[in-house]
């Protein structure tokens, strides 16, 4: 009997084609013992009926919760995430039912690091306002919107896992002073990448740009609260490439409204999609992206190859590359 895989429907484009192209699908189609299909409906949460219909799932946005695996007829034995974050999957609840969770930490390292650098360059160069000056024939105002040279600035990195390390590696040739903080990464590793290990408080107080790559868990939820945000200097910018709830968004909004920091660039939010009345949407000193700044054809191709590869390995009785620890 074939190993049956279901793929969440939000991985399809509006024209019905896979968002990551057809290349990675060969990982499944070329395996004679694997059958696959996209789920018939877009769902926000994987239901017990879905869990009873497949041996493995490949999911993007849908939540996989304790309720998903509550029934005795749960057939799924592996849930593979299309991406590195897995906050939409209750890993512990799945593990208790014998279901493993995988993610794609290797594929996203460079794309997310590049996206963070993109935000930094856009903020430093005053890209948005300069675009407006050009479109609105306000050339005479150029000297009032001078950009920031980066060679004399300090970049802080919160979270030095795979993505944070790739960011340091890519940023090193620019010659910036780079501070980094992560309780699980030693000073020697950070130094080899061109950074200096410091405490979170010291990093926030000294950095002109703070790039956040922390994993979201109960320990890091609202890690950047009002107290820690208050440590940042007035000229500082905050860049969040991690998960929205790592930052207390209401506290950040207040800090921005009071001009306690210079601005922010956010690819993630506490509520996604962002509510229409969110004050962040009307702020001129904030750059926003819909949790997709790193999305490119290459990025999605690599993510899908890593994620679908985990499913194919499991189907053959092998241990997948990236199993998330419960």
Catalytically annotated residues: 243, 272, 291
Answer for the pair 266, 280: CB distance below 8 angstroms, yes or no.
yes
User: What tokens were used for 273?
Assistant: 């999609």
CA separation for the pair 100, 116 (Å, rounded): 30
CB-based contacts of 103: which residues, under 8 Å, 6+ apart?
A: 80, 81, 83, 84, 85, 86, 307, 322, 324
CA 197 to chain centre: 23
User: Between helices 105-124 and 127-135, what is the axis angle to 10°?
Assistant: 50
Q: Are 116 and 170 in contact (CB under 8 A)?
A: no
**Rounded Cα gap, residues 64 and 107, in angstroms:** 22
For residue 260, give both structure tokens. 């306690």
Q: How far is CA 77 from CA 7, 33, 97, in A?
A: 14, 16, 9
Query: What is the torsion angle, in degrees rounded to the nearest 10, for the CA atoms of residue 69, residue 71, residue 75 and residue 81?
Result: -10
């Amino acid at each position: 009997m074939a190993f049956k895989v279901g793929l969440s429907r939000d991985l399809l484009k509006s024209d019905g084609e896979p968002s990551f192209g057809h290349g990675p699908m060969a990982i499944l189609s070329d395996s004679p013992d694997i059958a696959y299909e996209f789920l018939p409906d877009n769902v926000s949460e994987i239901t017990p009926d879905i869990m009873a219909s497949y041996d493995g799932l490949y999911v993007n946005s849908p939540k996989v919760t304790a309720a998903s695996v509550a029934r005795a007829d749960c057939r799924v034995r592996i849930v593979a995430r299309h991406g590195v974050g897995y906050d939409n999957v209750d890993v512990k609840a799945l593990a208790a039912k014998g279901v493993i969770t995988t993610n794609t930490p290797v594929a996203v390292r460079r794309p997310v690091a590049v996206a963070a650098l993109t935000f930094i360059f856009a903020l430093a160069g005053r890209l948005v306002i300069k675009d407006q000056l050009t479109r609105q024939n306000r050339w005479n105002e150029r000297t009032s919107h001078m950009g920031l040279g980066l060679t004399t600035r300090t970049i802080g990195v919160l979270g030095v896992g795979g993505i944070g390390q790739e960011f340091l590696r890519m940023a090193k040739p620019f010659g910036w002073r780079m501070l980094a903080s992560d309780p699980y990464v030693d000073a020697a590793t950070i130094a080899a990448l061109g950074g200096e290990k410091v405490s979170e408080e010291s990093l926030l107080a000294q950095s002109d740009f703070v790039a956040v790559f922390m994993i979201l868990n109960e320990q890091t939820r609202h890690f950047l609260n009002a107290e820690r945000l208050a440590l940042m200097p007035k000229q500082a910018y905050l860049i969040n490439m991690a998960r929205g709830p790592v930052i207390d968004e209401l506290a950040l909004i207040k800090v921005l409204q009071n001009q306690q920091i210079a601005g922010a660039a956010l690819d993630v939010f506490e509520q996604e999609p962002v509510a229409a009345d969110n004050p962040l949407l009307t702020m001129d000193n904030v750059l926003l992206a819909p949790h997709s700044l790193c999305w490119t054809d290459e990025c999605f191709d690599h993510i899908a190859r890593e994620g679908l590869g985990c499913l194919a390995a499991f189907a053959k009785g092998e241990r997948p590359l990236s199993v998330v620890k419960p």
